[in-house]
A and B are shown apart, each in its own frame.
Chain A
Amino acid sequence: MQKSLHIDANKCTGCLQCEMACSYENYGVFNIAKSRIKIFSFEHEGRKVPYTCTQCAEAWCLFACPVDAIRIDTATGAKVVHESTCVGCKVCTIACPFGTVNYVADTGKVQKCDLCGGDPACAAACPTGAITYVDADWTGLDKMRAWAGKTDSAAAAA
């Protein structure tokens, strides 16, 4: 079964545990500057939103790459940057409509979410369930359940 990161912004408190977990998983350091998931705070609305790559089915970053450095991990469906091939041309960062592929000056390569090979550290670290890793075909299941729970069964039966 293919799984997908699922984000419920209403549950995000802005603690950044996901950002620390991401950098630790990928670089062995606690450094939110290296995180591939970012929390955005919309202060005047009181909203926090976790944001990262959605792993597009037709991934523009992948098609834009002139050296085929971005490839599909068939196990997870993640679009993965192969650093040894990446030349740091940044065309993928332009192609991505969502800004979730970014250049890393330190390495001269780009980075993006690779779903941690199927066990995303951000989801494991999230204390509120704002980030979960669920059946890719059923990311709407929680919302459906919530609305289903509001159904007036007596009225529905009538």
Chain B
Amino acid sequence: MAWTRKILRVDLTNGTCKTEPLNMEWAQQYLGQRGLATKYFVSEVDPKVDPLAAENKLIMTTGPLTGTPVSTGGRYSVVTKGALTGAIACSNSGGYFGAELKFAGWDMIIFEGKSPTPVYLSVENDKAELKDAGHLWGKSTWQTEETIKKTHQDPQIRVCSIGSAGENGVLYACIINDLHRAAGRSGVGTVMGAKNLKAVAVRGTNGVASIKDPKAFMAASTAAKKVLADNAVTGQGLPAYGTQVLMNVINEMGALPTRNHRDVQFEDARKISAEAMVEKRPTDGKSHLVTNNACFGCTIACGRISKIDETHFSVVNKPEYWGASGGLEYEAAWALGAANGVGDLEALQYANLLCNEAGFDPITFGATVGAAMELYELGILTKEQIGLEAPFGSAKAVCELAEMTARGVGFGKELGLGSARLCEKYGRPELSMGVKKQEFPAYDSRGIQGMGLAYATSNRGACHLRGYTVASEVLGIPVKTDPLVTEGKADLVKAFQDATSVFDSAGVCVFTTFAWTLADLQPQLDAACEGNWTMEKLAEVGERIYNMERLFNNAAGFTAKDDDLPPRLKTEAAKTGPAKGLVSGIDKMRPEYYKVRGWDEQGVPTKETLGRLGL
């Protein structure tokens, strides 16, 4: 079975917890996690709902492979209507929390309503209760986890929580679990905060016993682990250098967005790269990187654990930040660094620590600072308004603005709205670098054309994790395509989006796809899950999920106009590197993509498409 077949429904308004059976018919159509929770969500929530209203729901969900020995089988997702985007949101996290939730016996928790006072949910196997969180409100994610473990006298409890950002309404607040893993994007933590839900604490001792064919399952998962170990990216590159292995590669490609996408190459990329993280610092003779780190069940172990330079200006006299902690990962290093023209590794790690501690997304935060810096350089924002000088390249500004955003004070309040609202407010909406009000991650659409289409058509706003064509266009996985052309990208993006939907619904990490295709995942799923999980069925499930999310967004009011990139990427050519002279070909790719998808010219799935997918 792999599913626990149990859902926990938590009514925050009335303070009740109820158990429901999982809809197994839906499980056959939507698999689990992202797909299945989204099916529940769209069936129960009005697409027009205000994300911060009590009527919005928030679902924490595991997949059928979560909590099993399948490599990376520890994922969980948070599904809701995103506070930042107003679109369907699904943020995926690793660490140990997801597996623990599964071990406690739950496929998902559906939170509805709004608690009159701050609460946290305590789950101990089948026992679930809401507890007062008055003493936790105002505490950081790190303090919250520590306090809950102490209160329950159980160090084996796993916790996910929001920090000050989620409490203060930062629109891109995360939910942090296990200190430095995050359901990071689209403001899922903001929705949690709006519900007065501070944390979820789980202890599960039931394990996963319901595998369809344990023998076949062990054989399939062992074979698939070997594929990961033998692959250069998942077996060597990621464990040694983490996702940061990409910094120099993408910079060389001329696809590293720099200074709010004014440039596509960053002169100090090397200083904030994986290579820099392992070099000995002149100040203390130690390297920034301490070790790599795995999430539950992961045989890749790409996570970075670092120690900041204690003499760095950002942490002098702040010993609470001197211990080993998570970071830097590529996206955070890019957003806090290159996006702002900042080449100070230690400053980036400090800002990254604040993002984890207070629970906000470093991608959107970093990109929003980039927009603010451009407004500052244009003279639209002044030193007085911001509270300090904020030119591109100022490490001090990034650190202090992160502090202000974490505390919800001064200009931090405006940064907490994200770049779209900030740029709109100051009359320059075109300077917000994102799609559907969510900021781009670390790949420039001019230098990697397929990513532009993936961003424009991502169901949760600009995102690299909905269709990571970088794998094909840069790394040649599964086949090499030319990053500088638009031809063939519509098919490529659709294929990545649909396959990713399956991986996100299974309970495994999308980073496995550097080495695995659906053909590697299929035997593991088929041995674990009831039903006949063929390649054809999985391909259809992926496409069905993508279209279901699209239908929700269309009903929420999104149109073809929202499948677009900011004018800068369509009119200002890349100045340097292999993509020099190129702009994004999004306007050419979009209609091709709609056709490949079986959508009409307005981006609406046709009757035939919906019929074919059973929607």
Contact = CB atoms under 8 A, between A and B. Distances in A.
B324 A15 contact: no
B214 interface: yes
A127 B238 CA distance: 14
Most buried by B among A28, A29, A30, A32: A30
A153 to B, nearest CB: 26
Interface stretch (A39-47, A50-58, A65-73): A39-47
Interface stretch (B190-198, B199-207, B557-565): B199-207
Contact of A43 (B96, B299, B324): B324
Contacts, number: 83
Label chain B's interface by main secondary structure: loop
Interface string B284-296: 0000001111111
A48 B96 CA distance: 14
Contacts of B291: 46-47
Contacts of A47: 291
B323 A44 contact: yes
A46 B297 contact: no
A111 to B, nearest CB: 14
B207 A46 contact: no
A128 B69 contact: no
A33 interface: yes
B207 A29 contact: yes
A19 to B, nearest CB: 10
Contacts of A34: 205, 207
Given A15-B301, A43-B324, A29 B294 contact: no
Interface in B458-511: none
A7 interface: no
A76 interface: no
A15 B209 contact: no
A103 interface: no
Contact of A13 (B69, B205, B292): B292
B225 to A, nearest CB: 7
A135 to B, nearest CB: 25
A2 interface: no
A24 B323 contact: no
A127 B225 contact: yes
Given A34-B207, A45-B324, A15 B307 contact: no
Given A15-B294, A29-B207, A46 B305 contact: yes
B290 A30 contact: no
B417 interface: no
A33 B301 contact: no
Contacts of A21: 69
Contact of B208 (A13, A29, A125): A29
A20 interface: yes
A28 B209 CA distance: 8
A16 interface: yes
Interface residues of A, number: 25
A24 B208 CA distance: 10
Contacts of B305: 46
A30 B293 contact: no
B179 A14 contact: no
Interface in B297-311: 297-299, 301, 305-307
A137 B67 CA distance: 37
A33 B324 contact: no
B179 A43 contact: yes
A31 B209 contact: yes
Given A29-B207, A46-B305, A16 B296 contact: yes
Contact of B229 (A17, A20, A23, A127): A127
Contacts of A20: 68-69, 297
A24 B69 contact: yes
B103 interface: yes
Contacts of A33: 103, 204-207
Nearest to B295: A15
Contacts of B211: 30
B296 A15 contact: yes
Contacts of A13: 239, 292-294, 298, 301
B301 A46 contact: no
Contacts of A17: 69, 297, 299
Interface in B265-299: 290-299
For B211, B214, B297, the residue with the greatest tally of chain A CB atoms inside 10 Å of its CB is: B297
A134 B235 CA distance: 24
B307 A46 contact: yes
Given A13-B292, A13-B293, A15-B294, A43 B323 contact: yes
A4 to B, nearest CB: 24
Interface string B318-340: 00000111000000000000000
B324 A14 contact: no
Contacts of A16: 96, 99, 296-297
Contact of A125 (B69, B204, B306): B69
Contacts of B306: 46
A33 B292 CA distance: 25
Give the one of A23, A31, A48 with max B CB within 10 A.
A31
Contacts of A31: 103, 205-209
Contacts of B71: 127
A45 B207 contact: no
B203 to A, nearest CB: 9
Interface of B: 67-69, 71, 96, 99, 103, 179, 204-209, 211, 214, 218, 225, 229, 239, 290-299, 301, 305-307, 323-325
24 contacts: A13-B294, A13-B301, A14-B293, A15-B295, A15-B296, A15-B298, A16-B96, A16-B296, A17-B299, A24-B218, A28-B209, A29-B208, A29-B209, A30-B208, A31-B207, A32-B99, A33-B206, A33-B207, A34-B207, A44-B323, A44-B325, A47-B291, A127-B299, A128-B301
Interface of A: 13-17, 20-21, 23-24, 28-34, 43-48, 125, 127-128
Given A33-B204, A43-B325, 14 more contacts: A13-B301, A15-B297, A16-B99, A20-B69, A20-B297, A24-B214, A24-B218, A28-B214, A29-B209, A30-B69, A31-B205, A44-B324, A45-B324, A46-B306
Query: Which 8 pairs from chain A and chain B are nearest by CB?
Result: A31-B207, A46-B324, A44-B323, A13-B294, A33-B205, A46-B290, A15-B294, A13-B301
